[in-house]
Structure 1
Amino acid sequence: MFGRRVLLADPDPDFRKSLKDVLQQHGYLVIAETEEGRSTLQAAFQHQPDIVLMEGELPGSRGLEIARIIDEHHLAPVVLITSRTNREILEEAKVSSILGFLIKPIEDFNIIPTLEVALATFKKLVRIEEENKKLKKKLEEQRLVEQAKRLLYEKKGFNEQLAHRYMQKVSMDRCCSLTKVAQLVINSLSK
């Protein structure tokens, strides 16, 4: 928890100061403060905070567009701060990438648990996305190997076991991956 870097985006300087004081008391470091949409986005890219605490209706932005862009680039989790429980903002927050929601006036005891849960959820989501990318890559590699074996079967008369052994031998002889061999086989036999 200690040393987490926070981007604080709210048009009210007095609110930012009081929230910054609370955050600092709990070991958080406010690395940037902004009051409108464009500067919030710039600060998020420049400072790469651990978490963004952001007013739901920042001047210079429409709806939660800033939060969506921050999420799209996987910069940090966004916790929304709003002074009213506007149904439209709530609905937009539910379908966007908001990982926490605080309503002004904020009770000090609500801030830290909300931030910590948002951070933990964000880390889980990032890890799941990385695992998903790895699985997709592995499936694509397997698809290429199977396609190459099928071509060896159809064009060279190999059975499946012989095609696999052939590709393994080429892989060892050339010191390259089975996937690279599969791509070579596909390129040479697909003509």
Structure 2
Amino acid sequence: MERALIISANKETSETAEQLLRIEGCGRTAVAASGSEARRLVKNEAEPDIVIINTPLPDEFGQELAEMISETTSAGMILICSGDVADDIADRLSDSGVNVLARPVKREVLQRTLRLVLNTRVRMAGVKKESTDILSRIEEMRTINRAKTTLMKYLKFTEPQAHKYIEKQAMNNRQTRLEVAVRILAQYE
């Protein structure tokens, strides 16, 4: 984990969270004392891996801030609030993927929640990479299929002939099928 953001007006909570993040291997931790400062950091700095919000903040409660950060980043989110409103806020933020903890929060509970959020984020990063790879392969297949269709249209190849032509060109020219397809499309389109 590279970067964390702690948003809290309470210095003691910030220090505890920072210690736990260091234990979990966080490289850099930024601390914001207000919602407006946090919004500026999220907008202008590198995207955090995890965000911890200790409510209420001096300029806002923090629920809207948590929603905004969860919508604009892929950061893992923990929101700490008083026990009397925790269930209500957890219901409102459940679709945003924000983990809500009721105060008072024991150090062990915060540490377990941090690990859970970080592990989930690592897993989601793997899924995101896999998704990107799949989308890239789909786009590659589309381009190759467009090149086959172009060969079928202009050179009157059958689909198997077009496929074999692209494969042979790729092998003979030591190129990928995608590179051959792009060259074909550039030539005929």
TM-aligned CA deviation for residue 132 of structure 1: 0.7
TM-aligned CA deviation for residue 78 of structure 1: 1.5
* Alignment CA distance shift 1:57-1:171 (3 Å): farther
TM-score (norm 1): 0.76
Number of the residue aligned with 2:69: 69
1:42-191 equivalence runs, <5 A: 42-43=40-41, 46=45, 49-60=48-59, 63-66=63-66, 68-69=68-69, 72-74=72-74, 76-83=75-82, 84-85=84-85, 89-98=89-98, 100-190=99-189
CA contact (8 A) 1:9 1:40 kept: yes
TM-aligned CA deviation for residue 178 of structure 1: 1.3
For residues 50-84 of structure 1, give each alpha carbon's deviation from its aligned partner in whole angstroms, at most 9, with x where no partner exists.
4221135544467334553366333x311111124
Question: SS where residue 23 of structure 2 aligns?
Answer: coil
Which ranges of structure 2 fall in alignment gaps of 5 or more residues?
Answer: none
Separation in structure 1 between the aligned mates of residue 18 and residue 183 of structure 2, nearest angstrom = 61
1:38 to 24, 36, 39: 36
TM-aligned CA deviation for residue 172 of structure 1: 3.8
CA contact (8 A) 1:68 1:97 kept: no
Number of the residue aligned with 2:23: 27
CA contact (8 A) 1:10 1:54 kept: yes
What amino acid does structure 1 have at the position aligned with 2:36? R
Aligned residues: 184
* Alignment CA distance shift 1:159-1:20 (3 Å): closer
What amino acid does structure 2 have at the position aligned with 1:12? N
Q: CA RMSD, aligned part only?
A: 3.2
Separation in structure 2 between the aligned mates of residue 174 and residue 41 of structure 1, nearest angstrom = 52
TM-aligned CA deviation for residue 27 of structure 1: 2.5
For residues 116-154 of structure 1, give each alpha carbon's deviation from its aligned partner in whole angstroms, at most 9, with x where no partner exists.
010011111111111111101101111111121122123
For residues 96-121 of structure 1, give each alpha carbon's deviation from its aligned partner in whole angstroms, at most 9, with x where no partner exists.
132x2211111222111111010011
For residues 14-43 of structure 1, give each alpha carbon's deviation from its aligned partner in whole angstroms, at most 9, with x where no partner exists.
4434x348637x825683322112322444
Which ranges of 4 or more aligned residues in structure 1 deviate by more than 6 Å?
none
What amino acid does structure 1 have at the position aligned with 2:29? I
CA contact (8 A) 1:10 1:16 kept: yes
Which ranges of structure 1 fall in alignment gaps of 5 or more residues?
Answer: none
* Alignment CA distance shift 1:124-1:172 (3 Å): same
